[in-house]
Structure 1
């Protein structure tokens, strides 16, 4: 049960955004810029970084959400996402992405754990300064998002179909696009 009253009934960060729409705008804009804006890393790769960090933080809602968003945009789908999160993907992702995930994991532990050796390894695999910057910021932002969601004990649906539906909306419309609301029930007419 959430620590605050979330009248919208929405799970995870969606409920928190409904609770405080004035903070939702800037947070959605950050997610849109980091995960969907112009970049040499694909949208799927950036969502994979978000899912990976969320998994390290054990945030069920964000892990399931961003795993679904990554799977919808990567050729290997959810199988690849699950294998990467379990450390089993090996050759299925580029060496550059492997080094960027190592940097993201270091950020998740502490920003000071991003060492020159990790950066040099990523650069040796072709990572640009922009990719390094964005990887660190995605990892840092998702530590914040994960703590926001879990710190207020939001609900995380168990049904993978919920996250697949959310993935369709995010892939098509992006962050900040409201989730469809159920149609209001029509009152019956007598006589």
Structure 2
């Protein structure tokens, strides 16, 4: 049961955002910038970083949402995402993406500089400064989003198709709030 009253009946961060449009606006803009604007990584790769960070943080709503958003934008779809979340070392991703996901995993741990060997691994696999930067920023932002959802103990969706419906909306429209 959520720790605050959420009167709109929406699960996870969706309910929090609808409840508080004043705080939703900058949080949605940050998500739009990090996950959809032109950056060094594809949209699908960025959503996968968000999903992976959320999975490591045990935030089921965010992991489920961003897994669906990544699957809708990556070759390999849901099977690829599932492989990453359940066994990064064996997942069929490029060495560059695997190294960047390892960086995301380090970001969600204790706050400290990245281990130099993770940065070296990413560079050796072809990652550039922008890709390393963007991975760190996405993972750090998702630690914030994950804490927001988890600490307030928001509810999970009851409709099994919720995440896929959200993926269609995010892929076509982005993170802007729905017109009222």
Task: Indicate the structure (1 or 2) with the bigger Cα radius of gyration.
Answer: 1
Aligned twin of 1:70: 70
Q: CA RMSD in A?
A: 1.6
Shift of 1:126: 1.2
Number of residue-to-residue matches in the alignment:
180
SS of 1:92 mapped into structure 2: coil
Q: How far apart, in 1, do the equivalents of 2:177 and 2:169 lie?
A: 8
Tell me whether 1:51 sits opposite 2:51 in the alignment: yes
Tell me whether 1:92 sits opposite 2:92 in the alignment: yes
Shift of 1:113: 5.4
Tell me whether 1:147 sits opposite 2:142 in the alignment: no
Shift of 1:159: 3.6
Aligned twin of 1:138: 138
SS of 1:160 mapped into structure 2: coil
Aligned twin of 1:121: 121
Question: Which deviations, in whole Å up to 9, do the C-alpha atoms of 1:26-45 show, x marking residues without a partner?
Answer: 10111011111102311011
Scaled by the length of structure 2, the TM-score of the pair is 0.95
Is the CA contact (8 Å cut-off) linking 2:35 and 2:43 kept in structure 1?
yes
Shift of 1:18: 1.4
Shift of 1:88: 5.0
Give unmatched runs, 5+ long, in structure 2.
none
Is the CA contact (8 Å cut-off) linking 1:106 and 1:113 kept in structure 2?
no
Q: How far apart, in 1, do the equivalents of 2:60 and 2:2 lie?
A: 14
Give unmatched runs, 5+ long, in structure 1.
182-191
Instruction: Provide runs of 4+ in structure 1 moved above 6 Å.
Output: none
Aligned twin of 1:188: none
Shift of 1:115: 1.1
Aligned twin of 2:83: 83
